[in-house]
Structure 1
Amino acid sequence: MAGKAASIGDYRALAKARLPHFLFEYLDGGSYDEVTLRRNVADLQSIALKQRVLRDVSSLDTSAELFGKRWALPVGLGPVGLSGLYSRRGEVQAARAAAAAGVPFALSTLSACSIGEVAAAEPGFWFQLYIVKDRGFVADMIARAKDAECGALLLTVDLAAPGTRYRDYRAGLSGSLGGTHRLAQVLRRPEWAWDVALRGRPLTMGNLEPVVGSNAALSDLMGWVARNFDASITWKDVEWVRSRWDGPLVIKGILDPDDARSAVASGADGIVVSNHGGRQLDGALSSARALPAIADAVAGRIAVLADGGVRSGLDVVRMLALGADFVLMGRGWAYALAARGEAGVAHVLKLIAAEMRVAMALTACTSIGEIDEKILERGGNQATF
């Protein structure tokens, strides 16, 4: 490949060659046997699009409106933990690439760069929040997101218990292998070590620094997550967040129509149909399979976003046809960030846009609003959705 990338798959290969093994496995892996991780990709790619010809598609509009703003694409960079370690001050680079492309960027709670650092470089991003046992910490995070004028709050609700990720254990990010094992992997990636570990200092846990300290190791972060994520949260806690946040509130981690209806009742402005990228309940439905019934249940009352398995602009069009209003991409942009920093993320977004335009032209859709179930082929060899 000689360093060239024409697809997200190419960027995955470049990321694998550049990142220390434990970081690549954290990014690339899922929980347990990774059944849901594979389903996310395979089920989405199994959906056949209905080709139509001899329609005037000389003028295509890929823009979409969400939360009162028009975006260049119906695509956002979803929250990815530790992405600031994939390239030097990585979350700042990704936020800049997203802003330049006219799409939203969502900063993870588990970021290397803090809310303040990203806001100073590129304001207006979205912030992804977890509810932990210390409600004072949660309230402080909401306040910091408000002070930074974040455009939306993504409340992730599918982490009542962290999924076991075998790859993290085997690679030394968790378990007994420890820091010596990780150091050996870093030494095998001198380019990354120079760019991130040395020039990218200070290496802290960004938003979690007040609770884990400025010198916390990755193993400390994993331990904090296991000890502090709250298994007792209910829809009452969503209402508590709603009372403290007056901007768009999006509930991330919905896979069931009844939960989608509860999200509407809670006062949320949107949901993300998501199984956490196959990193939580292994064996759960793929996002593509769950999406149509959830979109029907919501019936346009709030925005429906979706993530999971998106590896191309074709996949974005498939998600929209299944009922999503907007699509979030996670690993796709993170691979590109790891491979080439801001330039890689910018290139992936250009690829997504170009692939979307081809799919729209050959399904006779000239705007995002025309993409619906009518462009899907039913039956044949593909899975029934």
Structure 2
Amino acid sequence: MLERRFPRPRDLAPLMRFKAPQWNAKRRRLEAALTIDDLRRIAQRRTPKAPFDYTEGGAEAEISMGRARQAFEDIQFNPGILRDVSVVDTSSTVLGATVALPFGIAPTGFTRMMNAEGEIAGASAAAAAGIPFALSTMGTTAIEDVKAANPDGRNWFQLYMWKDRERSMALVDRAAKAGFDTLLVTVDVPVAGARLRDKRNGFSIPPQLTLGTVLNAIPRPEWWINFLTTEPLAFASLDRWSGTVGELLDTMFDPTVTFEDLAWIKSQWPGTLVVKGVQNLEDAKKLASLGVDGITLSNHGGRQLDRAPIPFHLLPEVVREVGMDAEIHLDTGIRSGADIVAAIALGARFTMIGRAYLYGLMAGGREGVDRTITILADQITRTMRLLGVKDLAELEPGHVTQLQRLAPRA
């Protein structure tokens, strides 16, 4: 028989400590978000369907996007034990300078459509975290204003090569004069991908209001108040545009760009140059022979060619063949710090986050981006400790097994 007694207050007190209430609703929401998927759910509740789907969606049937995520889920970590991991160092050298974490904020277009704070939130959060911020050609904040928000940090400018070469290089010149240290040339956009969600939502700049748009906006008054009471949305690097996103992209992008054009761009740029959108080994070899500083394996987040190669699967082979000649970076599909650790272990020098950043931005502006970075940083540190490594240089391919789900038929 158990001996029972009436509980005494002094015994119960240590077991019943109440958490101090958080009266700030935004901070309460963000503190409750423990993963990027949690931030995504908050973002979806707070953002109208058209801009949320622009962030969330991919090309056509969105097969590329799903496969990229699946590739990160289909890994096995192989930890070591009995290592001293009391102190973990997440910093590394990327393109000749130190970064505090092995990821940066990828270039995203139409960013103030997601949240009125837009690129300023991303750039200032990157500055605070000690990581690079990349501004898109399709960004909605001026090059000079991004520099002001991140005056002492790493600013990268992402270039789409337009049919109008003079205007393209005028942007490059502005970025150089503003002190941007890296040019990120995106090469997987000869034409715009078929982003069917945007077509169905009538996503355009400026937004086209319909009865459905209005009904969808009713439970999201904060977004509309911010949108209507701040500077009208426009492309900081472009003239004003009235039309669908796809029409704008098809007007801008130049399907005639070649490796020779890229070499010419490289000759015009005084800083480091990274080529983004590489999807096979032979192209990576050609770029390395041109002397580019970095190669980003990416299928544009699954937003261009559907059924494109999976960047994470390409990573080991490209690192093995050209990793001594150029830094290999990775984006597409990254949704957690564990994904980033796996990429670094397989040879990536650096990774970039796009959707994860925008989910945080939509969930809470600058504070939401800070929360994204904190979540990923905590996951990176924890994963490294559980693997038994104390700095990024100790990560190696043996720490990760890529499990096979899709394989070519003989």
Flag whether TM exceeds 0.5 (same fold).
yes
Unaligned runs of 5+ residues in structure 2 are: 1-24
User: 1:52 Cα deviation (Å)?
Assistant: 2.0
1:156 partnered with 2:186: yes
User: What residue identity is the alignment partner of 2:382?
Assistant: V
Other-structure match for 1:62: 90
What is the deviation of 1:46?
Answer: 1.0
1:274 aligns with 2:298: yes
Show CA shifts across 1:63-83 (max 9, x none): 010122111111101111111
Instruction: Identify the residue that residue 192 of structure 1 maps to in structure 2.
Output: 223
**1: CA distance, partners of 2:211 / 2:182:** 39
State the shift of 1:178 in Å.
4.5
1:326-341 equivalences in 2 (<5 Å): 326-341=350-365
**RMSD of aligned alpha carbons:** 2.1
| 2:191 and 2:249 in contact (8 A); partners too | no
Deviations 1:196-236 (CA, angstroms, capped at 9, x unpaired): x1232132111113xxx3xx34x255422212210010001
SS at match of 1:207: coil
8 Å Cα contact 1:32/1:165 also seen in 2? yes
- 1:365 is matched with 389
For residue 257 of structure 1, what is the aligned residue in structure 2?
A: 281
Q: CA deviation at 1:183?
A: 4.9
Q: Would you say the 8 A contact 2:202–2:244 is kept in 1? A: no
What letter matches 2:391 in structure 1?
Answer: S
| CA displacement at 1:344 relative to structure 2 | 1.0
Identity %: 36
Instruction: Please tell me the residue identity of whatever aligns with 1:166.
Output: L
- Cα displacement (A) at 1:57: 1.2
Q: Which range moves more in the overlay, 295-304 or 324-333? A: 295-304
For residue 136 of structure 1, the aligned residue among 153, 166, 170 is: 166
In the TM superposition, residue 267 of structure 1 has moved relative to its aligned partner by 2.3
User: Is contact 2:129–2:373 with CA below 8 Å preserved after alignment?
Assistant: yes
The SS at the match of 1:150 is: coil
Q: Choose 315-324 or 21-30, whichever is displaced more.
A: 315-324
With over 3 angstroms needed to count, the CA separation of the structure-2 counterparts of 1:181 and 1:226, relative to structure 1, is farther
**One-letter amino acid matched to 2:296:** V
Equivalent position amino acid for 1:92 in 2:
I
2:220 counterpart letter in structure 1: R
Aligned CA distance change for structure 1 residues 231 and 254 (closer, same or farther; 3 Å) = same
1:113 aligns with 2:137: no
The amino acid that maps onto 1:42 is Q
State the SS of the aligned residue for 1:120: helix
Corresponding residue number in structure 2 for 1:32: 60
SS where residue 104 of structure 2 aligns? strand
Note the C-alpha offset of 1:244: 0.8
Matched, 1:19 2:43: no
Alignment of 1:7 with 2:35, yes or no, is yes
TM-superposed deviation, 1:346: 0.9
Q: Which residue of 2 aligns with 1:223?
A: 247
Residue pair 2:60, 2:195 contacting (<8 A) in 1 also: yes
Q: Is the Cα–Cα contact under 8 Å of residues 95 and 294 in structure 2 kept in the other structure?
A: no
**Aligned match of 1:170:** 200
What whole-Å deviation, never above 9, does each CA across 1:94-120 have from its counterpart, x for those lacking one? 100011001011011111111122122
Greater CA deviation, 350-359 or 83-92?
83-92
Do the aligned residues in 2 keep the contact of 1:88 with 1:199 (CA within 8 Å)?
Answer: no
Distance 1:204 1:248 in 2: 28
Equivalent residue number for residue 306 of structure 1: 330
SS of match in other structure, 1:369: helix
Q: Counterparts of 1:273-292 in structure 2 under 5 Å?
A: 273-292=297-316
Offset of residue 86 of structure 1: 1.7
Match of 2:124 in 1: 96
Q: 5+ residue gaps in structure 1? A: none
Structure 2 SS opposite 1:377: strand
Aligned residues: 376
- One of 219, 233, 238 as aligned partner of 2:262: 238
**1:321–1:68: structure 2 CA closer, same or farther, 3 Å change rule?**
same
